Structure 1
Amino acid sequence: MAVPTAASLREPGGYRAPAVTGLADLLDRQVRSRPRARALVVTGDRLELSYRALAALADDVAGRLVGAGLRRGDAVGLRCANTAEFVVGLLGAARAGLVVAPLDPALPGSQLSDRLDALGARALLVGPGAPPAGAGASAWPLRVDLSRAGTATASLDAGTLVAPQLRGAASEFGDRDALVLLTAGTSDRARMVPLTHDNIAASVRGICATYELGPGDATVAVMPFFHSHGLFATLLASLAGGGCVLLPADGRFTAHTFWDDVRAVAATWFTAVPAVHEILLDRSERDYPGPQAAPLKFVRSSSAPLNTATQRALERTFGAPLLSAYGMTETSHQATSEPLPQHGLLKNASVGRPTGLALRVVDEQGHTCPPGVEGEVWVHGPTVARGYLAGPAETARSFTDGWFRTGDLGALDEDGHLCLTGRIKNLIHRGGEKISPEYVEDILAGYPGVVEAAVFALPDATYGQRVGAAVVVRTDEPVGSAEILRYCQGRLAAFEVPDRLEVVAALPHTAKGGLDRQAVDALFAR
């Protein structure tokens, strides 16, 4: 299967994806052609930062980093919420030729230290409000000050540099490396994914082309920038396309201010995980201001499966198409997406077609599956990482001849649309049957009143494993487990129906908003 080229990213209507080569020149086109256009709207006061001002701040920080002794190819950590400091720190480090690792501000000190050591980071840029735990003398406070008069200044308190480390991850950096993103996991299992400027440029061009993002677009940052979803889809694609990103107060998504933020920036779209969409839908009767106040062109969902019933309810409520996308850190985020309505049909349960890369579905023997047959999803192309840093065994398991083996199960239809059916590692083995928890969760979520569901394996002496489930229901819906199970019996095979179902107040989520399956197992799989 051929990998789409940059030329093929031109949409039928004449849209042309931005010509960027990586992080360092992400702003250049806009600074030349639209220097006064707003790039960011930040803080609770919603102060505007133009492209020219943002580029000047990034250049200032780049000079300070080089002046502090950092050299091209050195690694630095970046510990900030979704604030101006994150954006300026990221772009400034890129312009200085550094390799940047965005880190979760909520990481405990021990995990933070483990990640910095594994990376070989020589410094840690820390934004306001981020806890200083575990960073020691390598923590460098970064601050951006804005005024209503339009002035903007950056300050960087450069402290002691950690001595160069030429072992582990640092010894594996290449000339074009720009980012290291860490996948979810505990401190001793988090995998480090190196992404080059070329990976970033291909991802940004693909996202911009898919949604035709341009200077007339604006969005609100919902997803955290230390994960690929928020970083690529919200921040980098918007800036490359010349749009505007509103960074909420304190750099964090808050449901009760979200629609005010949408109106303040005249947002034309936003992207989030299903859990956030469920929250917004649940609060829509009292919070949603209506299509006149928030004229969205589309809404995007990614990072976890979104059940069809929720998707259609969101479209009816918000009056805009909801486009499902599929991506992961190892593919610089987006791998597939549903198209804008004017460019193709939206299909139920589909995450669309490949955007800028090649995709195939492979059986257990390594053969490509015919349409409609389930197998593992493999991807190949310019957005795919080369492997994992300091992880040769994991790289060998997950990367084969340039193809990334995602670990996701799915099937392609005759038109090349991908339908995901679950994760291989999540499968429940009940006797001789393999059960996808994601599929059972989708059925559970279709019951009226169920907000969210988690399905997990219960140990069983006879069958090996049985099916367990925990569901969250709306507070105004008197729903019990017996009614939900009866609903399942008419829609699931007998072996897929949960053997035990609990109605719970809440389910645990990861930092990026997806279901935390490790925590689910610890809480309920007993």
Structure 2
Amino acid sequence: MAVPAAASVRDANRYRPPEVTGLVDLLDRQVRERPYARALVVTGERVQLSYRALASLADEVAARLGRAGLRRGDAVGLICANTAEFVVGLLGAARAGLVTAPLDPALPDSQLASRIAALGARAVLVDASGVGVGVGVGVGVGKLPVPVWPLRVDVSRAGTAAVVLAVGVCGTAQVTGAAGELSDADALVLFTAGTTDRAKMVPLTHANVAASLRNICATYELGPDDATVAVMPFFHGHGLFAALLSSLASGGCVLLPERGRFSAGTFWDDMGAVDATWFTAVPAIHEILLDRSEREYPGPQAPPLKFVRSCSAPLNTATQRALERTFGAPLLSAYGMTESSHQATSEPLPQRGTLRQGSVGRPTGVEVRVVDRGGRPCPVGVEGEVWVQGPTVARGYLADGDESARTFVDGWLRTGDLGVLDEDGYLSLTGRIKNLINRGGEKISPEHVEDILAGCPGVAEAAVFAVPDAVYGQRVGAAVVLREPDGLDREEILRYCRAHLAPFEVPDHLELVTALPYTAKGGLDRKAVQVRYAPP
């Protein structure tokens, strides 16, 4: 019997996800029912901050922002690492009715200034990682007249906390930039991955946020007994939705590593300190933890994990199996985009469904369709573009009507990803449309070739890219990182490729390199790979 290549999953479990309406009431239930339960573990001393204390800090920030003259629906920037200042600033701005745009503290001042100008933010909150940015003090691009307000959260060892935030007065300046398209129904503006020229602004409403958190919490049945360590940065959806907000919405706890950044050297100590039950990361970080596990993973002394989650980039099956053996927990692959408020699909918990290595699981609270070039659903097992529809999907991009019209069609998000659905609705990704290599008319998925290369014994990771060619148009190039510097030579790797790939997919150009470039989000930086390793 034919099964349409579309799928949706509704929560039929006894578990009930948290009832939140957005960022504004994210903490309310916990404050009512469990005010002294730990919400965050912060600083190098790993001090616990309760839900009541966190809500009090957010309320204080909201009051001060309101007194500064900011109006509901105004946009503010937030330049922080994964610190208490980020959490308090985000929730405080939400309680003041403002729309927050988290920004990467590592971006150059010129890019920060360009993004703030494009958005039309009226002020910027920074923690210690953002102090010194040129925005608003006459240094950034265009010498923006945007006030920068340092935010500090002082937490004592006893768990008492206070906010230090000296705000000025914003006045009644006319709204500029894309902020004119925002309202107080909006919660966030997230920038897509990429350079300033390519990054797009995605507005997400409180309703988008609430739907995303309900879906994530339901998928993993998160609750007050769960805890995690913040690995991924909060200025992208992966860390923000999957780790931070879903934990707070469900009454769990998040440990924020010292200095607000992931450290492989302290990771397992952090996990033990908070009695973590799960964590989520990109494949590159999973590879790091796996490579260091022989000397750093505490084994029986490690906290027992319910599951480990992987998202934001493809995870090869060899690594998945090795992680499950090492950590003694199921590895659940998930898939999402900024435009879908992060998660769209995930493998289920083992007690709720089958784990299918190589897939990114089933839809979680949305509908997923695989379509051909005409937008018609593909049969089961046939590759096409992945489209997503549901309450987590954004309405479009800010200040970019043309791109919005191309990407958002009749309520569907055209992801630009290629994939196939099986008869049970599990999605397997096969590549990105724009990444396809055209070798004499043969369309080659770099992601597929990378997966094969990663399965070669002795290969740690690989990146595949197009090499210009006068005869074929493009050929296949690859940059490969070895687990041991002298473990393999090029011919051994190519021999493995010839045994596992079609002849036209085998790399014509292969370089052995010491490391690959990654974006701040944790995905492979394909543009940098092309520039570094493609022959002239």
TM-score range, shorter chain: over 0.9
Aligned mate of 2:510, from 501, 508, 514 = 501
- Partner in structure 1 of residue 144 of structure 2: none
Task: Note if 1:303 corresponds to 2:328.
Answer: no
Q: Supply the distance in 1 between the matched residues of 2:364 and 2:300 (Cα, whole angstroms).
A: 29
Q: Supply the distance in 2 between the matched residues of 1:305 and 1:520 (Cα, whole angstroms).
A: 17
- Partner in structure 2 of residue 224 of structure 1: 233
Q: Supply the distance in 2 between the matched residues of 1:342 and 1:175 (Cα, whole angstroms).
A: 40
- 1:10–1:139 Cα change, 3 Å: farther
Deviations 1:457-491 (A, max 9, x none): 00000000000000111136611111011001010
Q: Supply the distance in 1 between the matched residues of 2:232 and 2:205 (Cα, whole angstroms).
A: 22
8 Å contact from structure 2 (residues 79, 129) kept in 1: no
Task: Note if 1:261 corresponds to 2:270.
Answer: yes
Deviations 1:74-121 (A, max 9, x none): 100000000000000000000000000000001111111110111110
- 1:42–1:367 Cα change, 3 Å: same
Q: Supply the distance in 2 between the matched residues of 1:73 and 1:175 (Cα, whole angstroms).
A: 4
- Partner in structure 2 of residue 490 of structure 1: 499
How does 1:107-506 map onto structure 2 within 5 Å? Answer: 107-137=107-137, 138-159=147-168, 161=170, 164-475=173-484, 478-506=487-515
Pairs aligned (count):
522
8 Å contact from structure 2 (residues 268, 302) kept in 1: no
Report the 3-state secondary structure (helix = DSSP H, G, I; strand = E; otherwise coil) of the residue aligned with 2:386.
strand
What's the offset of the Cα at 1:150? Answer: 1.9
- Partner in structure 1 of residue 141 of structure 2: none
Task: Note if 1:101 corresponds to 2:101.
Answer: yes
Letter in 1 for 2:531: A
- Partner in structure 2 of residue 9 of structure 1: 11
8 Å contact from structure 2 (residues 278, 306) kept in 1: yes
TM-score (ref. length: structure 2): 0.96
Report the 3-state secondary structure (helix = DSSP H, G, I; strand = E; otherwise coil) of the residue aligned with 2:198.
coil
Letter in 2 for 1:214: G
Q: Supply the distance in 1 between the matched residues of 2:485 and 2:191 (Cα, whole angstroms).
A: 39
8 Å contact from structure 1 (residues 168, 389) kept in 2: no
CA RMSD of aligned residues (A): 1.4
Task: Note if 1:48 corresponds to 2:51.
Answer: no
Letter in 2 for 1:32: R
Letter in 2 for 1:288: Y
How does 1:76-95 map onto structure 2 within 5 Å? Answer: 76-95=76-95
Report the 3-state secondary structure (helix = DSSP H, G, I; strand = E; otherwise coil) of the residue aligned with 2:40.
strand
Q: Supply the distance in 1 between the matched residues of 2:171 and 2:322 (Cα, whole angstroms).
A: 52
- Partner in structure 1 of residue 143 of structure 2: none
What's the offset of the Cα at 1:165? Answer: 4.2
Report the 3-state secondary structure (helix = DSSP H, G, I; strand = E; otherwise coil) of the residue aligned with 1:86.
helix
Report the 3-state secondary structure (helix = DSSP H, G, I; strand = E; otherwise coil) of the residue aligned with 1:320.
coil
Q: Supply the distance in 2 between the matched residues of 1:172 and 1:88 (Cα, whole angstroms).
A: 25
What's the offset of the Cα at 1:10? Answer: 4.6
Report the 3-state secondary structure (helix = DSSP H, G, I; strand = E; otherwise coil) of the residue aligned with 2:15.
coil
Q: Supply the distance in 2 between the matched residues of 1:93 and 1:522 (Cα, whole angstroms).
A: 40
8 Å contact from structure 1 (residues 449, 477) kept in 2: no
Report the 3-state secondary structure (helix = DSSP H, G, I; strand = E; otherwise coil) of the residue aligned with 1:136.
coil
Q: Supply the distance in 1 between the matched residues of 2:162 and 2:7 (Cα, whole angstroms).
A: 43
What's the offset of the Cα at 1:190? Answer: 1.2
8 Å contact from structure 1 (residues 102, 180) kept in 2: yes
- Partner in structure 2 of residue 31 of structure 1: 31
TM-score (ref. length: structure 1): 0.97
Deviations 1:275-305 (A, max 9, x none): 0000000000000001442211100000000
Deviations 1:290-323 (A, max 9, x none): 1442211100000000000000000000000000
Q: Supply the distance in 2 between the matched residues of 1:477 and 1:337 (Cα, whole angstroms).
A: 38
Q: Supply the distance in 1 between the matched residues of 2:486 and 2:268 (Cα, whole angstroms).
A: 26
What's the offset of the Cα at 1:163? Answer: 5.7
- 1:445–1:3 Cα change, 3 Å: closer
Greater displacement, 150-159 / 223-232: 150-159
Deviations 1:367-390 (A, max 9, x none): 100100000000000000000000
Of structures 1 and 2, the one with the larger relative CO (CA 8 A, separation 6+) is 2
Task: Note if 1:57 corresponds to 2:57.
Answer: yes
8 Å contact from structure 1 (residues 422, 439) kept in 2: yes
8 Å contact from structure 1 (residues 122, 163) kept in 2: no
8 Å contact from structure 2 (residues 8, 362) kept in 1: no
Q: Which runs of 5+ in 2 are unaligned?
A: 138-146
Q: Supply the distance in 2 between the matched residues of 1:78 and 1:524 (Cα, whole angstroms).
A: 35
Report the 3-state secondary structure (helix = DSSP H, G, I; strand = E; otherwise coil) of the residue aligned with 1:495.
helix
Q: Supply the distance in 1 between the matched residues of 2:134 and 2:286 (Cα, whole angstroms).
A: 34
Letter in 2 for 1:232: F
8 Å contact from structure 1 (residues 123, 162) kept in 2: no
What's the offset of the Cα at 1:25? Answer: 0.3
Q: Supply the distance in 2 between the matched residues of 1:194 and 1:155 (Cα, whole angstroms).
A: 29
Q: Supply the distance in 1 between the matched residues of 2:215 and 2:416 (Cα, whole angstroms).
A: 23
8 Å contact from structure 2 (residues 477, 534) kept in 1: yes
